[in-house]
Each structure stands twice: as structure tokens, then as C-alpha cells.
Amino acid sequence: GLGKLLKLPAVVQKSFMVAAIFPNAGNLGLPLNSFAFGTPGLERAIVYMITAALLMFAICPALLKGGSISSGVRLTLKLPLLWAMLAGLTWRLLRLKLPLGLDKGIHQLGMAAIPIDLIVLGIQLSRTRLVIGRYEVLATSLRLLVAPLIAHTVGQALGLEGLNLQVLVLQSAMPVAISTVVLVTEFGGDAPVVARTVVLSTLVSFLSLPLVLWATT
């Protein structure tokens, strides 16, 4: 892959791949799509976010841990988070109600996810100098520039058009997901590199996202 071509260390290759693949489609992608495309865009962005989250937490741990495909599958199936996401999605689709006001408690726990991600990001940044190198620049370029181009090409190949294609491209142009820092910290990889890439891609996205939005509308 590109990491081997650039002769990156194995640990950086895995971190580089995770940072380049997974966008911040939730706490940044949802409000931006809602602002740009209204409720119809938000609904489509939520579908993208759920799909991206399932893929992230199903693929990332095995990818970061390494090993055989079978060991990766076993690791993924052992993760409570994956089953919790699937259970929550199923519960939502069946429109079931939780008794005793449990939904409010679970909602409050869910609201803690983003602050925890930010705390982990801050911890990793405190352990390293905020020096931007070629790894961070390249991963940011792939995430903000190459990914939306690929999304546009794939979307057209699948016959998507109009709002469906616009949301796909815009969501794919989001900066690196903050959750990748948590995953790299837990399952292996170069957490400082990923943390710096999150910061850099988020800052640069304030320039790139308006351009992507302009190009898709």
C-alpha cells in the first residue's frame, strides 16, 4: 500500500490508514449537512454516520491489532461496543420503548462519548510536541481531498445523484474522526501521530469543507 511505498514504520502504517479512512461524520458531519441541506440531508447523513461507525468499530480494532483474519474476526466479535451498537440500532428500528426511564439514562451516557474522546485527544497531545510532519500532512490530504473525490466517483458509479450524492461527498470530506485516537490508544498504533492528524485535518477542514460544499451544490 501507500504506507509501504513511503517506507513508513508498521505502527505508523496502521495509524495512517485508520486516520485516512474514517471521517468525523457525526458531531461535525451531521450539523453541517443539516445546515447545507436541511432535514432531508440530515436524514441521509445519519445513515452515512451509522454505517461509518459500524465499519470503524468492526474493522479498526482488528486492523490495529494485526494478525490473521480469523483472529481479527474473533477480536471484533468480542467487542461489547459493536454488539451495543447493533442492539441499539435494532431497538430503534423496531420502535421499542425502554421501561423506567432508562432511555434518558442511556442518552446521558451517550452524551459523554464526545467529551471522553476530547479528553483522550488532549492527553495524547500533551505527551507530544505539536509538530506537523509528512505523515500528518499526507493523511490529512487523503482524508480531506482524495476521499471526497473517491466518494464522488463511487457514488456516480452506483447511480447516485442529487442530494444523495451531495451528502455522500460532503460526509466523506470530513476531517479525521476523534474516535480514531481512542481506538489507536486502546488497540495499538501511533496515537500521537493520529492525534496531531485529527487537529491538523480539523483546522484545514475549515478551508476545505466550504470548497467541497460549493463544488457539490
- pLDDT values of the chain reduced to their tens digit, one per residue, 217 residues: 555 666 667 777 788 888 888 899 988 899 899 999 999 999 999 999 988 888 888 888 877 777 677 777 788 788 787 788 788 888 878 887 877 777 788 777 777 777 777 787 777 777 777 778 888 899 999 999 999 999 999 999 999 999 999 999 999 999 999 888 888 888 888 888 888 899 899 999 999 999 999 988 7
| Helix/strand/coil percent split, the chain, to 5 | 80, 0, 20
Helix (H) or strand (E) holding 209: helix 191-216
The answer to pTM > 0.85 is no
Angle at 147 between CA 110 and CA 42, to 5 degrees: 45
Give me the domain span that covers residue 165.
2-216
In 3D space, the residue among 82, 84, 46 whose CA is nearest the CA of residue 62 turns out to be 82
Q: What does the CA dihedral 165, 167, 169, 172 come to, rounded to 10 degrees?
A: -140
Phi, psi at residue 182, to the nearest 5°?
A: -65, -45
Handedness of CA 141, 147, 148, 149 (dihedral sign): positive
What is the total count of domains within the chain? 1
